Structure formats: structure tokens, C-alpha cells
Amino acid sequence: MSDNRKLEYPAIGSKWKDLDSRVQRTVEVIRYDPAKPRVRIACIETQRLSWAKPERFNGKSGGYAKLGER
């Protein structure tokens, strides 16, 4: 990937709402894996851990919006 933009990671401990209208999910950022790059998230409703791409934390459709901002 020859992208000159620096990836911005969401703050650890921050809470985000999934903007996919098919699901009702709130996630909390747990940690980063800069080698991949990816973000470890925990679903608050189910306590399930998963990974997400940092670019999904943008407040746009198909991504996550910071709680309280939308």
C-alpha cells in the first residue's frame, strides 16, 4: 500500500457505535496491533472480542461513530 496518510487510531478505552443499520452494536477499543495494522475491539453487548481496521473509525456509513457524536 503506497498511501502517504498516517493511520489514525481511536483512543484506547473509547466507545463507538457501529453504523451498520443491520446490527445494534457498541464497541470499546482495547488495544492496537500496528504491525497489521488493526484495532482490537470488544462488543459491549456480547463481550465478544474482534479486530477492526483503523479506517473504519471515521463516523461514516459502514464504520463506527464515537458515542455521543451521532
* pTM given for the model: 0.84
* Phi-psi group of 65: left, alpha or beta (phi > 0 → left; psi -120 to 50 → alpha; rest → beta): beta
21-67 pLDDT, tens per residue?
999 999 999 999 989 999 999 999 999 999 999 999 999 999 999 99
What is the rounded CA–CA span in Å between residue 13 and residue 3?
27
**Judging by beta carbons within 10 Å of its beta carbon (0-12, 13-18, 19+), is residue 64 exposed, middle or buried?**
buried
- Comparing CA positions, the residue from 1, 9, 7, 3 lying closest to residue 64 is 9
Per-domain residue ranges of the chain:
15-66
